[in-house]
């Protein structure tokens, strides 16, 4: 399915982080992806110029905050500022992966709640609206002082997993911690599967410990579906998988929205033969060398495209929200 907009009223641009996804979102809306000129001055300052007029138009700028995150963030801020300064009517920041959502609380002395800081910077730069997907925690939504739509890829996962004909007799959905238990329960409900949650303690950026997984919860099940918001180093999935295997799980399906697969995540996941499939999305670009044979990458272009179309045509997008209690997936 595709939608169309009045091309005289909209402009689509992409930062350098994920032009392929930006092009797919624009294509869903039958709109061209306009050119943007990037560069660096001799003193290492960034240079960004929008390649088409935006005067009195709704401007959509697609940029995921992926490595190098600081450059991609500054690039996005400059594009927002350029659109505002060129008299755009509205400026929409489309951020499929908002990495700083993980910095959502003050859990150590003298640190920044950076998610809130970035939300303020986006508004200051000129964004009038933000769209993102699966924030690390619900409270991050409240950091924004402008309308913000936290979308979900849950329907994509449900449609994909339904092809497996999973049965409640042998399959259980497992969240790595209680913070993800609500999302796991919503997924499990649509698949008519039971759900369980581990108890995760983060030791460092690369090390986690999972304890308190009630063995009776997974006892008697042959397959587990691990559901998390993102996989970076893979520490949570590896640790949880070892607990599940020790409790009799023979097959593991890993599902996550943001597949970053940093550092040695790929070899660590490949070394677990019980993982039959890794299902993720393209909110962050996944290069060929990170795509395992058992990896499925689902596109979120239609989700963002549909949300943009409904926004432009003044329709509700509530059923696309991450925390919406859907009647149907």
Question: What does the DSSP 8-state code read for residue 106?
Answer: -
Contact in structure between 37 and 51 (CB atoms under 8 Å): yes
C-alpha distances in Å from residue 256, one per residue of 224, 252, 278, 314: 14, 13, 8, 30
Span 81-98, average pLDDT: 98
Q: What is the pTM of this model?
A: 0.93
Categorize the per-residue pLDDT at 27 as very low, low, confident or very high, splitting at 50, 70 and 90: very high
Of 320 and 205, more confident: 320
Residue 44 CB partners (closer than 8 Å, separation 6+): none
Confidence at residue 47, expressed as pLDDT on a 0 to 100 scale? 97
- Helix (H), strand (E) at residue 181: helix 181-191
How far is CA 164 from its chain centroid?
23
Q: Among the ranges 1-15, 205-219, 296-310, which has the highest mean pLDDT value?
A: 296-310
**CB-neighbour burial class of residue 270 (10 A; exposed 0-12, middle 13-18, buried 19+):** middle
Chain segment 266-294, per-residue pLDDT in tens? 999 999 999 999 999 999 999 999 999 99
105 included as an active-site residue: no
**Is 70 exceeded by the pLDDT of residue 149?**
yes
Q: Is the pLDDT of residue 328 over 70?
A: no
- Burial of residue 169 (CB within 10 Å: 0-12, 13-18, 19+) is exposed
- Structural domains in the chain, CATH included, are 10-153+301-320 (3.40.50.2020), 154-298 (3.40.50.2020)
Q: What is the pLDDT of residue 329?
A: 41
Is the confidence at residue 213, as pLDDT, over 60?
no
How many beta carbons lie within 10 A of that of residue 302, not counting itself? 17
Q: Determine which one of 40, 200, 216, 268 is catalytic.
A: 200
């Amino acid at each position: 399915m595709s939608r169309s907009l009045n091309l005289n009223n909209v402009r689509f641009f992409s930062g350098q982080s994920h032009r392929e996804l930006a092009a797919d979102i624009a294509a869903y809306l039958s709109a061209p992806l306009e050119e943007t000129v990037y560069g660096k001055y001799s003193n290492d300052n960034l240079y960004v110029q929008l390649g088409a007029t935006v005067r009195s138009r709704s401007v959509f700028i697609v940029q995921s905050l992926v490595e190098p995150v600081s450059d991609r963030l500054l690039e996005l801020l400059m594009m927002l500022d350029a659109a505002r300064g060129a008299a755009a009517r509205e400026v929409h920041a489309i951020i499929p992966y908002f990495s700083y959502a993980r910095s959502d609380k003050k859990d150590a002395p003298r640190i920044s709640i950076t998610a809130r800081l970035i939300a303020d910077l986006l508004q200051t730069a000129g964004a009038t609206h933000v769209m993102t997907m699966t924030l690390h925690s619900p409270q991050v939504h409240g950091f924004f002082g402008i309308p913000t739509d936290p979308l979900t890829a849950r329907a994509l996962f449900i449609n994909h997993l339904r092809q497996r004909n999973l049965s409640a007799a042998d399959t259980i959905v497992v969240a790595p911690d209680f913070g993800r238990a609500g999302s796991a329960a919503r997924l499990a409900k649509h698949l008519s599967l039971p759900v369980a949650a581990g108890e995760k303690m983060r030791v460092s950026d690369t090390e986690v410990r999972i304890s308190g997984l009630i063995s009776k919860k997974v006892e008697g099940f042959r397959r587990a579906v691990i559901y998390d918001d993102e996989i970076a180093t893979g520490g949570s999935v590896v640790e949880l998988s070892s607990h599940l295997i020790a409790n009799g799980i023979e097959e593991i399906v890993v599902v996550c929205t943001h597949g970053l697969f940093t550092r040695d995540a790929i070899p660590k996941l490949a070394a677990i033969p019980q993982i039959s499939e890794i299902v993720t999305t393209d909110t962050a670009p996944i290069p060929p060398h990170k795509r395992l044979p058992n990896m499925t990458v689902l596109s979120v272009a239609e989700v963002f495209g549909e949300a943009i179309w409904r926004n432009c045509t003044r329709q509700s997008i509530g059923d696309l929200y991450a925390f919406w209690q859907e009647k149907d997936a």
